[in-house]
Amino acid sequence: MTVRPLLSAEAINAAVCDLGRRLSDDYADRPLTILGVLTGSIMLVTDLMRQIAIPHQLGLLQASSYRDGDGSPGELRINAEFLPCLEGRDVLLVDDILDTGRTLARLVEEVRHLEPHSIRTAVLLWKRSRTVVDLRPDYVCFEIPDEFVVGYGLDFNGEYRHLPFIGAIER
């Protein structure tokens, strides 16, 4: 299995810096809470926070979908045990990738119950051609074609998350 480079560490860094500047403007004087979706968003969240020039809080939740035997998406499990209070906060859900969009759409619904003032979504990558839900991400760093990608937090069977760049898996 090889990894064909798609986005360099430099390109990712430039996009994350740009996103940080936009968020600093858009959320100036707002009670911003970054809500990272584990595990894939860890690198994005830690890099992004350092590029946001306004005070903000951090929350983390875990979402994992157990694939059925035939490869179709299984039930989505959400662990929100460690969330800070979101009531009245301006919440930005941050995930590594929006693929079908089912995960983020479900998470937005879950977070809505916690009565934040607003909810928006930010993703590093968007496979627009595969998205089946109504949700459009509010902030996107890169649109990518329908390929399975790894690196910068994204995994294949738990591996490759450590790569500083993003590449497509080739068998």
Among residues 11 and 169, whose Cβ is nearest to ligand IMP? 169
Q: Is 19 in the site for ligand IMP (CB under 6 A)?
A: no
Tokens of 88: 């009245």
In 3-state terms, what secondary structure has residue 162? coil
Among residues 86 and 104, whose Cβ is nearest to Mg ion? 104
Residue 99 among the catalytic residues: yes
Can you tell me which residue has the tokens 């926070």? 49
In the complex, the smallest distance separating the C-beta of residue 70 from ligand IMP, rounded to whole angstroms, is 16
Which member of 40, 59, 137, 151 binds ligand IMP (CB under 6 A)? 40
Contact between 68 and 74 (Cβ < 8 Å): yes
Tokens of 11: 């390109």
Q: Is 101 in the site for ligand IMP (CB under 6 A)?
A: yes
Distance CA 105, CA 161 (A): 24
Active-site option among 47, 95, 96, 99? 99
Beta-carbon contacts of 106 under 8 Å, excluding residues fewer than 6 positions away, are: 63, 76, 78
Q: Is 34 in the site for ligand IMP (CB under 6 A)?
A: no
In the complex, the smallest distance separating the C-beta of residue 129 from ligand IMP, rounded to whole angstroms, is 12
Contact between 126 and 97 (Cβ < 8 Å): yes
Q: Which stretch binds ligand IMP (CB under 6 A): 7-15, 22-30, 83-91, 94-102?
A: 94-102
Partners of residue 32 on adjacent β-strands: 90
Partners of residue 63 on adjacent β-strands: 78
* Binders in 151-170 for ligand IMP, by CB under 6 A: 154
What's the Cα-to-Cα distance from 146 to each of 49, 151, 162, rounded to whole Å? 28, 16, 22
Among residues 27 and 152, whose Cβ is nearest to ligand IMP? 152
Q: Which stretch binds ligand IMP (CB under 6 A): 1-9, 53-61, 98-106, 108-116?
A: 98-106
Q: Which residues bind ligand IMP (CB under 6 A)?
A: 40, 95-103, 148-150, 154
Active site residues: 99
